[in-house]
């Protein structure tokens, strides 16, 4: 994979990847949602926690997943709700030993109609009781 700048759309090939911080992702998601979804259809992206998370806390991974981010970097040294959500997302496909899922149909379709557009502020953390 080769890193590149977001604006270099015409120079990218399928193996290019952009790395964006969580704060930059939210700005793009809120202001340029259609562009972001189209970008995620063709290229790879990685989102990482902002550098001010000195306590190694995690952000809600559901929001970038909905935005089509393929690699959502989390702080694995912190056992929190975000890590449980990450584990649950990949459980159906081999758990943490897999780490791969097929993109949802709306990100693979050329006929995307923006019906899944949501603001990260509108997404509430899911509440699910787990019995062990």
Counting every residue, how long is the chain? 132
Strands of the chain, DSSP E: 2-3, 16-21, 44-48, 71-72
pTM value is 0.70
Both tokens of 27, joined, read 């700005």
Q: Which of 86, 100, 108, 101 is nearest to 37 (CA)?
A: 108
Cα-flanking dihedrals φ and ψ of residue 34, to 5°?
-60, -40
Give the model confidence (pLDDT) of 62-99 as tens digits. Answer: 888 888 888 898 888 888 888 888 888 888 777 667 76
Distances (CA, A) of 27 to 31, 104, 127: 6, 23, 26
Give the model confidence (pLDDT) of 97-120 as tens digits. Answer: 776 777 777 777 776 555 555 554
Place of tokens 């989102």: 47
Count the alpha carbons within 13 Å of 129 in the hemisphere toward its beta carbon: 1
């Amino acid at each position: 994979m080769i890193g590149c700048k977001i604006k270099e759309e015409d120079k990218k090939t399928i193996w290019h990847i952009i790395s964006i911080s969580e704060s930059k992702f939210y700005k793009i998601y809120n202001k340029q949602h259609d562009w972001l979804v189209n970008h995620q259809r063709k290229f790879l992206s990685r989102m990482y926690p902002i550098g001010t998370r000195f306590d190694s806390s995690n952000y809600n991974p559901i929001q970038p997943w909905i935005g089509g981010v393929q690699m959502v970097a989390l702080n694995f040294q912190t056992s929190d709700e975000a890590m449980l959500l990450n584990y649950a997302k990949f459980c159906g496909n081999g758990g943490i030993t897999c780490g791969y899922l097929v993109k949802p149909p709306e990100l693979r379709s050329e006929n995307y109609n923006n019906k899944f557009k949501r603001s990260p502020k509108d997404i509430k953390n899911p509440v699910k009781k787990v019995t062990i």
